[in-house]
Amino acid sequence: MNQQLLGQFAALGTALCWTVGSLSFEAAGRRVGPLSVNFVRLVIAFFLFVAYALIFRGTVVPRGADAETWGWLLLSGLTGFVLGDLFLFRAFVAVGARVSMLVYSSVPPLTALFEYLFLGERLTPVQLAAMALTVAGIAVVTANRASEGTVGNRRLFVRGVAAAFLGAVGQAIGLVLSRYGAPAFDPFAATQIRTIAGIAGFAAVITATHRWSAVRTAVTELPAMRHAARGAFAGPFLGVSLGLYAAQRAGAGVAATIAATVPVILIPVSVLLFRERLTLIEVAGSLLAVGGVALLFLLPG
């Protein structure tokens, strides 16, 4: 199996991991709040990385990365884990997850744009068409879900959409920085370094907002911590590491496009677990997104 295809399968694994992680995070966040869960899940993920490093590399701290690589990966962690997530969760509060995810579907084209600007990479016409098809399918699905609600405060809506877009920018830049800073570095070690930056960044935010008491309370909520631990494994530990592996092998734009199918994957999950009705528009959007992923898998670049 060639490296491109391995990267694409890794990106699909990322999407599945993020699906599990998002459901786990939602369950934990309802109990103790998103800021506390974000910090706790990164701490849990860090210890998962330590265990992985001890088993497979015989060390706690990632080795083989020079100061420049550390710098780029730390910057990537601050951009993706901290800034991106902070803006995204602010959007969730302002306009809800459905509208937020619609705007967040701009991550793949933004990633491709930053890849072109910073790395000088170009995508083939087939890849561009596949990305456009996948993004269109995601947009159709999330727009339909968003249309079920109403927005009472236009100013709040504009702020929420702006926050979601900034969250997408943070995610896209973080992914490109990871690939630039660690083009061939162990994805798990690279993500461990990014996690360190995320923990430090969230610790600074919690200190600035005087939320440490909320974090201490959250740790005592065992059901929330179980959800957070499951999300930490599926999200920051396995999902993000697979995402970086996918970006290294398949390109950041292609990896982000496949990983962005999370809203589509959540549809059958919602139907099976939460008994939500599936509309024809959502079926059409799902087919568009799956068609885009199929193009990425089956057609040469």
- Residue 132 counted as domain residue: no
Could you tell me which residues come within 8 angstroms of residue 19 by beta carbon, excluding any fewer than 6 positions away? 262, 265, 266, 269
Residues 54, 50: Cα–Cα separation, whole Å: 6
- Residue 179 counted as domain residue: yes
- Determine contact, residues 258/17, Cβ cutoff 8 Å: no
Q: Which pLDDT belongs to residue 47?
A: 92
- Residue 83 counted as domain residue: yes
Q: Which domain holds residue 184?
A: 9-123+151-252
- Residue 1 counted as domain residue: no
- Determine contact, residues 60/274, Cβ cutoff 8 Å: no
What HEC string does the chain produce? CCHHHHHHHHHHHHHHHHHHHHHHHHHHHHHHCHHHHHHHHHHHHHHHHHHHHHHHCCCCCCCCCCHHHHHHHHHHHHHHHHHHHHHHHHHHHHHHHHHHHHHHCCHHHHHHHHHHHHHCCCCCHHHHHHHHHHHHHHHHHHHHHHCCCCCCCHHHHHHHHHHHHHHHHHHHHHHHHHHHHCCCCCHHHHHHHHHHHHHHHHHHHHHHCCCHHHHHHHHCCHHHHHHHHHHHHHHHHHHHHHHHHHHHHHCHHHHHHHHCCHHHHHHHHHHHHHCCCCCHHHHHHHHHHHHHHHHHHHCCC
9, two tokens: 């399968």
What length does the chain have? Answer: 301
Q: Which pLDDT belongs to residue 98?
A: 66
Measure Cα distances from 20 to 40, 221, 300 in Å. Answer: 17, 20, 30
- Residue 269 counted as domain residue: no
Q: Which pLDDT belongs to residue 147?
A: 66
Q: Which pLDDT belongs to residue 298?
A: 64
- Residue 141 counted as domain residue: no
Q: Which pLDDT belongs to residue 198?
A: 94
17, two tokens: 């991991």
- Residue 70 counted as domain residue: yes
- Number of domains forming the structure of the chain: 1
- Residue 22 counted as domain residue: yes
Mean pLDDT of each 10-residue bin along the chain, 301 residues long:
82 88 81 87 91 87 84 93 84 71 78 80 80 84 67 70 90 86 80 92 94 93 91 86 83 78 79 76 83 73 58
The closest of 243, 233, 251, 288 to 41, measured between CA atoms, is 233
